[in-house]
Chains A and B, each alone.
Chain A
Amino acid sequence: MGLAWGMTRISVSVDGIAYVDEVEPRMLLVHYLRDRLGKTGTVVGCDTSNCGSCTVHLDGRSVKSCAVLAVQADGHEVITIEGIAKDGELHPMQRAFHESHALQCGYCTPGMIMQSIDLLAANPDPTEADVREGLEGNLCRCTGYHNIVKAVLTAAADAKAAR
Chain B
Amino acid sequence: MTDLPASGIHGHPHRRIDGRAKVLGTATYAFEQDVDAATYLYPLQATIARGRVRRIDTSAAEALDGVVAVLTHLNAPRLADTDDKEYAVCQSDEVAFRGQFIGAVVAETQEVARHAASLVSVEYDEQPHQVVLPDDDKGLDDPDEVNAGYPSDTAQGDVGAALADAERLVDETYSTPMEHNNPMEPHTSVAIWSAGSGDGDASLLLYDSTQGVHSVRRTLAPVLGLKPERIRVVSPYVGGGFGSKGLPHAHNVLVALAAQLTGGRPVKFALTRQQMFTLVGYRTPTIQRIRLAADGDGRLTGICHDVIEQTSRIKEFAEQTATATRMMYAAPNRRTSHRLARLDVPIPSWMRAPGEAPGMAGLEMAMDELAERCSLDPIELRVRNEPDIDPDSGKRWSGRHLVECFRTGAERFGWADRGEPGARRDGDWLVGLGVASSTYPAFTMRGSTAEIAYVDGRYVVRIGASDIGTGTWTTLSQIAAEALGVEVEGVRLELGDTDLPMATVEGGSSGMASWGSTVVAAVDAFRDRHGKDPEEGATARAETPEHADRKKYATHSFGAIFAEAAVHADTGEVRVRRMLGVFDVGRIVNPPTARSQLVGGMIFGLSMALFEHSVMDARTGHVVNHDFAEYHIPVNADIADLDAIWLDHEDTNANSLGAKGIGEIGTVGSPAAVANAVYNASGVRIRDLPITPDKLIAQSGSTKTGSPQSGHM
Contacts and interface: CB of A to CB of B under 8 A. Distances in A.
A145 B109 contact: no
B218 interface: no
Interface in A115-133: 129, 131-133
B31 interface: yes
Contact of A107 (B15, B108, B185, B470): B185
Interface in B103-158: 108-112, 115
23 contacts: A24-B109, A34-B32, A35-B109, A38-B34, A40-B28, A43-B185, A44-B270, A51-B184, A82-B26, A103-B469, A104-B596, A105-B468, A106-B19, A106-B27, A108-B184, A109-B23, A139-B184, A139-B635, A140-B636, A141-B600, A142-B240, A145-B636, A149-B636
Closest 6 CB pairs of A and B: A41-B25, A105-B469, A107-B239, A106-B22, A50-B628, A81-B25
Given A2-B65, A129-B637, A132-B636, 7 more contacts: A31-B109, A40-B34, A44-B186, A80-B25, A82-B24, A98-B20, A103-B16
Contacts of B16: 98, 101, 103
A159 interface: no
Given A4-B65, A108-B184, A144 B27 contact: no
B238 interface: yes
Interface in B57-71: 64-66
Interface in A1-38: 1-5, 24, 26-27, 31, 34-35, 38
Contacts of A98: 15-16, 19-20, 23
A140 B184 contact: yes
Nearest to B31: A40
Given A98-B15, A147-B596, A141 B242 contact: yes
B22 A46 contact: no
A98 B19 CA distance: 6
Given A90-B24, A101-B596, A107-B29, A141 B183 contact: yes
Nearest to A131: B636
A129 B27 CA distance: 30
Nearest to B666: A144
B393 to A, nearest CB: 33
A42 B25 contact: yes
Interface string B7-27: 000000001101111111111
Interface of B is mostly: loop
A103 B109 contact: no
Contacts of A138: 635-636
Given A105-B185, A132-B636, A140-B184, A146 B25 contact: no
B31 A146 contact: no
A77 interface: no
A150 B23 CA distance: 15
A53 interface: yes
B627 interface: yes
B219 interface: no
Contact of A41 (B26, B66, B635): B26
B633 interface: yes
A72 interface: no
Contacts of B186: 44-45
B212 to A, nearest CB: 15
Interface in B435-452: none
Nearest to B643: A146
Interface of A is mostly: loop
Given A45-B186, A82-B25, A108-B184, A40 B32 contact: yes
Contacts of A65: none
Nearest to B474: A101
B184 A142 contact: yes
A145 B600 CA distance: 8
A15 to B, nearest CB: 10
Nearest to B629: A50
A108 B596 CA distance: 15
Interface string A46-75: 111011010000000000000000000000
B2 interface: no
B71 to A, nearest CB: 20
Contacts of A40: 25, 28, 31-32, 34
A41 B28 CA distance: 8
A105 B469 CA distance: 3
B596 A142 contact: yes
A143 B471 CA distance: 12
B599 A136 contact: no
B92 interface: no
Contacts of A38: 34
Contacts of B111: 3, 5, 24, 26-27, 31
A94 B19 CA distance: 10
Nearest to A114: B25
A94 B23 contact: yes
A85 interface: yes
B185 A45 contact: yes
Contacts of B637: 129, 132-133, 136
B25 A110 contact: yes
Contacts of B238: 105
A39 B65 CA distance: 26
Nearest to B352: A141
A4 B118 CA distance: 14
Contacts of A97: 19, 23
A34 B182 CA distance: 22
Contacts of B40: 35
Given A24-B111, A45-B273, A103-B19, A144 B184 contact: no
A48 B20 contact: no
A108 to B, nearest CB: 5
B707 interface: no
